[in-house]
Structure 1
Amino acid sequence: MGSRVELFAAIRRDARVEELSIRELARRHGVHRRTVRQALASAVPPPRKRPVRVSPRLDPFRDAIDAMLRADLDAPRKQRHTAVRVLARLVEEQGATGLSYSTVRDYVRVRRAQIDLEGGRRVQAFIAQVHAPGREAEVDFGDVYVVLDGVRTKCHMFVLWLSHSGKAIHRVYPTEAQEAFLQGHVEAFEAIGGVPTQHIKYDNLKTAVAKVIHGPGRARQESDRWVLFRSHYGFEPFYCQPGINGAHEKGGVEGAVGWFRRNHLTPMPEVATLDELNEQIKSWEARDESRRISGRTNTIGEDFATERPLLRPLPEDAFDPGLALTPRVDRSSMITVRMVKYSVPAHLIGRRVRVALRASELVVFDGRTIVATHPRVVAKSGHRVILDHYLEVLRYKPGALPGSTALAQARVAGVFTSEREAFWVASRKVNGDTDGTRELIDVLLLHRSMTADQVTAGISAALSVGAVTADVVAVEARRHANATSEDAAATEGGATQGRHLVAHAGSREQRVVHLTQRRLTDPAAVIAGLPPDSRPAPSVAVYDELLPRRRASTPDPDLTCTGVSAPAR
């Protein structure tokens, strides 16, 4: 159109300056006189008329195609005619062998929209919305794959997206069940520092909606625990239309799920635990605050700084998102939760315990006391066993320890370390298999009152002199704990009993003394950190002087009176 505008301008200029006739203007510019008259009448060229294209091969089949498209008005969405199917039916039923796919495709694309509009079907039109700060948010789940401890695992990413600022909170869980749904809300509210004041948009998730009530409005039958949760935090849900029709109603979070998955979770992250991945996600979220969403003036962080003070404050009491269960402990000292077995202390066998099943962990209560905490197992029919839960039983059945599942999992998890392996080997050599294993179990019981570092230090001290008993390990572990506390107090400036013993600062004192080694070694040598023993050997000769001595010739008065001689002594 630009060239025609310039042509019209030139014609109008020549006519104005040189006062040429229409015939002369047409000859000079090489156009028809009709074009000259149009240029003199208006500076804007008239629109070109688009020629009506005829399709003689398609014309006989237009009515048949329209009938197929009108039948689609009442057909299921996934069973409507495509252009390929329309062409196939025309060939089979009408003998239309001369039609090309492109001809049918172009006609179907135009006529389908016209027939849908004539039939009263929805028209795809989107209306821009303005979201006030602090009032609205959107929530959704997205599938992600994670290389979890070397195994490719399907996980689920919870996303809460603030509509005004575009600030999004992401958390990856092994499930998208209700406990993960609630846990995601709790962590998201804590991360943003409040709750939206108007509503949060959702799909019709089974974790929240027990039943969709069809009819006018958006009435839903909600689950009781979900009603309790949203009442606790004081927000209202907004449920989108069921199916694909409601996807555009929360397009913000839909886009946030895909963007985060493409930019941060591609390629698949390789982590040991989901907690490690979620910690990494928090750093990504902080970095994304400097990003500017397309079409917006400010960055996410700048808009979020405006939005955060307008959120409703969090309630004072925390909400436990865990699902409450009461399984019974079986003879193997294990409970079954969602087709997965978890161990509990052996003294609970036969009893029912209370379980809080959360998104990423499982907490077992005996009354109000926490007796076990397990990371949630993703694989079905899996099991999670802790060696400490079986120590009292193994104390009386030491032969069951070497082949136990608890020991195997402790080795894999790195809890049963090389120091403990070495102590077990040395203890069995000295004390025999049964008693040596019992000594190891007594050492493992020390973890209930001491830290792993303290017990490891005690084991190392005992092994250094061959004193492989649990009592020696306990003594040395306590000495290590006391020394550690004294060093910490000295570092902080506190006074301790051995703070001024400078003479021993550079020497390595060996606490454990092996008595057999002390007896068999040269007394003049310094053994196990002790000075030479120069004392004389002990003697009881002085006690002999205190013994009564009676002469055999001294008569016994009692025996003399009776006429009986006293025996020699």
Structure 2
Amino acid sequence: MIKMAQFHHIKFLYEVEGLSQRQIAQKLGISRNTVSKYLKQNEAPTTIHRQKNYHGKEYSDETKRVLPIIDQWLEGDLKRWGKQRHTAARIYRRLVDEYNFKGSESNIRKVVAKRKKKLQEVFIPLDFQLGHQFQFDWGEADIILQGRTQRIYLFCMQLSASRMRFVRAYLHEKQEAFLDGFVHAFEFFGGVPTEGVFDNLKTAVVKILQGRDRLEQDAFLALQAHYLFKAEFCNIRSGNEKGRVEGTVGYVRRNASVPLPDVQSLEELNAYLLDWCLREAEEKTVPFTKETVAQMWAKEKEYLHPYPSSLVLRVVVSIRNVCDH
């Protein structure tokens, strides 16, 4: 069974870089049949599914019946507030009430303890594999610019797996700033993730269609075509689906903008913000790991789609010129 990161790499090479199954097999040193098998899967195997080896004595058929349910609940807990997760007693009660479980509570306690330990040691959320996703949002903050208080707009992007942040300040949230921010962000990150998660920004969306479908701005579509990433949009009034990046907006405002930065130019402010992101990355660790954000970011770079090799023609200008014509 391949590892989660390798599964993503197979998908990435096939869907983004356009390699054939034979080329992927040669590049990764695995069989063509293995490549074919995992390309047919719509979802990667979770850590739980990859490690179905429940050590020790064989479980009863009744316990085996509810193991997938327990695994699902415990994996879901990792994305929730720590004080509002399942206890072993609560899991047992739910199994009895909802699934007519006939086994003992003591046995469920042992199973839950073993599964929690394994998850804490090796679990990486499926939604946030290295190089797969970034999240974006705008924020606002006040600064002192040339001696006067000025409201500025923060372009905030975060890699979902490594938690690496990029923040850049603008005087407005217009499309020019929106597109320019991506040029600088991808250059800073050292590559491009496969997809990005967005709110329903007017600079990106012309019209909200049914479900998650959107009619996107031509300039934004051109940006995606240039950098080869796919935009995913939150449900209406569900901006909280972006989770981490909205937390980043508030965190930046409270930590990088208090007291108010006193600068002479936006260039000075952006140099400060970039340095702040790098220092934070050296000091903060990634949840469920012992690695710093900077260390995980170094690994994630290997999974990012290559930054366009040709000199970027200030994509903001070239894209707008194409759209204007």
TM-score (normalizing by structure 2): 0.57
> What code does the residue aligned with 1:270 have?
D
| CA separation of 1:296 and 1:254: change in aligned 2, threshold 3 A | farther
How do 1:259-274 residues align onto structure 2 when only pairs under 5 Å count?
A: 259-274=251-266
Corresponding letter in the other structure for 1:159: C
Q: Does 1:312 align with 2:309?
A: no
Cα offset for 1:267?
1.2
Does residue 240 of structure 2 align to residue 248 of structure 1? yes
Q: Who is 1:157 aligned against? A: 154
Deviation at 1:281, TM superposition (A): 1.2
User: Identity across aligned pairs (percent)?
Assistant: 36
Residue 299 of structure 1 deviates from its aligned partner by 1.2
Give 1:270 deviation, angstroms. Answer: 0.8
CA distance in 2, matches of 1:264, 1:294: 22
Aligned to 1:111: none
Q: What secondary structure does 1:231 align onto?
A: helix
2:131–2:161 contact (8 Å) kept in structure 1: yes
Partner of 2:145: 148
Among 129, 132, 142, the residue aligned to 1:132: 129
On the 8 A contact 1:179/1:321 being kept in 2, the answer is: no
Structure 1 residues 370-409: aligned runs within 5 Å? none
Q: Which of 212, 215, 220 is 2:214 aligned to?
A: 220
* Residue 251 of structure 1, CA deviation: 0.4
Instruction: Supply the distance in 2 between the matched residues of 1:158 and 1:249 (Cα, whole angstroms).
Output: 18
Cα offsets for 1:387-408 (capped at 9, x unmatched): xxxxxxxxxxxxxxxxxxxxxx
How far apart are residue 248 of structure 1 and its match? 2.4
Other-structure match for 2:90: none
Please give the alpha-carbon distance, in whole angstroms, between the structure 2 residues aligned to 1:211 and 1:235.
20
1:293 Cα offset (Å): 4.5
Larger RCO, structure (CA 8 Å, separation 6 or more): 2
**In the comparison of the two structures, how many residue pairs are matched?**
195
In the alignment, does 2:232 pair up with 1:235?
no
Give 1:282 deviation, angstroms: 1.5
For 1:427-438, list aligned pairs within 5 A.
none
Contact 1:200–1:235 under 8 Å retained in 2: yes
Using the TM superposition, give the Cα deviation of residue 296 of structure 1 relative to its aligned residue in structure 2, in angstroms: 4.2
In structure 2, the CA distance between the partners of 1:302 and 1:322, relative to structure 1 (3 Å rule), is: closer
1:281 aligns with 2:273: yes
Contact conserved, 1:229 with 1:319, CA < 8 A, in 2? no
Question: Structure 1 unaligned runs (5+)?
Answer: 1-127, 325-353, 355-569
| One-letter code aligned to 1:187 | H
Q: Secondary structure at the match of 1:289?
A: helix
1:206 is paired with a residue whose SS is coil
Which one has a bigger Cα radius of gyration? 1
Unpaired runs of 5+ residues, structure 2, are: 1-123
Displacement of 1:223 = 1.1
- 1:297-308 correspondence to structure 2 within 5 Å: 297-308=290-301
Deviations 1:279-324 (A, max 9, x none): 1112111111121255543210111111011100011241434458
RMSD: 2.2
Which among 190, 203, 206 is matched to residue 193 of structure 1?
A: 190
Tell me, in whole angstroms, the C-alpha distance in 1 between the residues paired with 2:167 and 2:201.
Answer: 18
The match for 2:178 is 181
C-alpha deviation, 1:200, in angstroms: 0.2
User: In the alignment, residue 304 of structure 1 is paired with which amino acid?
Assistant: W
> What CA distance in whole angstroms lies between the structure 2 residues aligned with 1:317 and 1:222?
26
TM-score, normalised relative to structure 1 = 0.33
Contact 1:192 1:308 survives alignment (8 Å): yes
Task: For 2:259, give the aligned amino acid.
Answer: P
- 1:196 offset after TM fit, Å? 0.1
Name the SS for the 1:285 alignment partner.
helix
Show CA shifts across 1:327-384 (max 9, x none): xxxxxxxxxxxxxxxxxxxxxxxxxxx9xxxxxxxxxxxxxxxxxxxxxxxxxxxxxx
Q: Is the 8 A contact 1:137 1:163 kept in 2?
A: yes
1:30-87 residue CA offsets vs partner (Å, 9 max, x unmatched) = xxxxxxxxxxxxxxxxxxxxxxxxxxxxxxxxxxxxxxxxxxxxxxxxxxxxxxxxxx
Could you say which residue in structure 2 is the equivalent of 1:258? 250
AA partner of residue 303 (structure 1)? M
